[in-house]
Amino acid sequence: METVRKIAIPLFAIIIFFIFWEWLVWVNQWPNYKMASPSDLWPAFWKFKGLFLSYGWDTLWRTVAGLLIAIIVGTGFGMIMGLSKLMREALYPLLVGFNAIPKATLVPVIALMFVGADDMNTVMMAFLISFFPIAVSVSIGLSTLEPEYRDILKSLGASRFTIFIKIALPKTLPEFFGALKVAVTLAFIG
């Protein structure tokens, strides 16, 4: 019963929203170019479904490519900053400063850098938007590692690699997946 309720209440709210939207357009007699009603959307979708599918696929692969690059580079930067205090002190202010720049101001710069390469422009924007949360979260996860764990494993003769695999990596995973959740959303916005 609880599962049905969890599905039924949001579904009911969505149906009410669409009915209200349809009613609002009908009462105000708005033309389609001003505000299309939900009943007008399906015929338009089927009429232009080839365009929607084509451009939807283009958006999807460009965004995923930018996100994958951000995961690889962001994880690398995060590991460098998390494992080295010197690198964290050097790179973190640069990352924060770069993240403070509104991404909309970078669009013309990136467009000029990659003139004619529409794919690269979109991939680069998805990368730039997704990179920061991943790098910072991985860095925080690694830098907040309790020294007691490290000391115990060192006293047992563990190498740095073993300490990283057994302690640092598992401790960083929650931060990484939290950042990934944010980065996926941001990549599609970009």
Return the pLDDT at 133. 93
Gyration radius of the chain over CA positions: 24
- The neighbour count for residue 177, using CB atoms within 10 Å, is 10
For the record, the structure tokens of 75 come out as 């994880």
Across the chain, what does the average pLDDT equal?
A: 88
Answer yes or no: do 157 and 72 share one domain: yes
35 and 72 co-located in one domain: no
What mean pLDDT comes out for the span 62-71? Answer: 94
Boundary (domain end) residue, out of 47, 68, 84: 47
Q: Same domain for 59 and 135?
A: yes
The pLDDT value given to residue 111? 81
Same domain assignment for residues 56 and 39: no
Number of domains observed in the structure of the chain: 2
CB 165 within 8 A of CB 139: no
Shared domain for 13 and 103, answered yes or no, is no
Q: Tokens in use for 35?
A: 């505000």
Query: Do both 109 and 91 map to the same domain?
Result: yes
Question: Within this chain, do residues 2 and 91 fall inside the same structural domain, yes or no?
Answer: no
For position 176, what pLDDT does the model report? 92
> What count of Cα atoms within 13 Å lies in the side-chain half-sphere of residue 34?
7
Q: Is 158 exposed, middle or buried (0-12, 13-18, 19+ CB in 10 A)?
A: middle
Q: What CATH number does residue 146 fall under?
A: 1.10.3720.10
User: 49-83 and 118-143 helices cross at what angle (nearest 10)?
Assistant: 30
15-60 pLDDT, tens digit per residue, is 999 999 999 999 998 888 888 889 888 898 899 999 999 999 998 9
Query: Alpha-carbon dihedral of residues 54, 56, 61, 65, nearest 10 degrees?
Result: 140
Range of the domain at 24: 1-47
Question: pLDDT by residue (tens digit) across 134-175?
Answer: 999 999 988 888 888 878 888 888 888 888 888 888 888 999
Work out the end-to-end distance of the chain between its first and last CA atoms, rounded to an integer number of angstroms: 40
151 and 68 in a single domain? The answer is yes
Asked if 94 and 69 sit in the same domain, the reply is: yes
The one-letter code for the residue type at 21 is: W
- Rounded Cα–Cα distance for residues 7 and 126 (Å): 32
Pair 41, 86 in one domain: no
Please tell me whether residues 70 and 29 are part of one structural domain: no
Cα–Cα distance measured from residue 72 to residue 129, given in angstroms and rounded to the nearest whole number: 14
State yes or no: pLDDT of 115 exceeds 90: no
**What pTM did the predictor assign?**
0.78
What pLDDT score was predicted for residue 75? 94
- What does the pLDDT read at residue 50? 92
Whether residue 121 is found in the same domain as residue 64? yes
Domain boundary among 10, 25, 47: 47
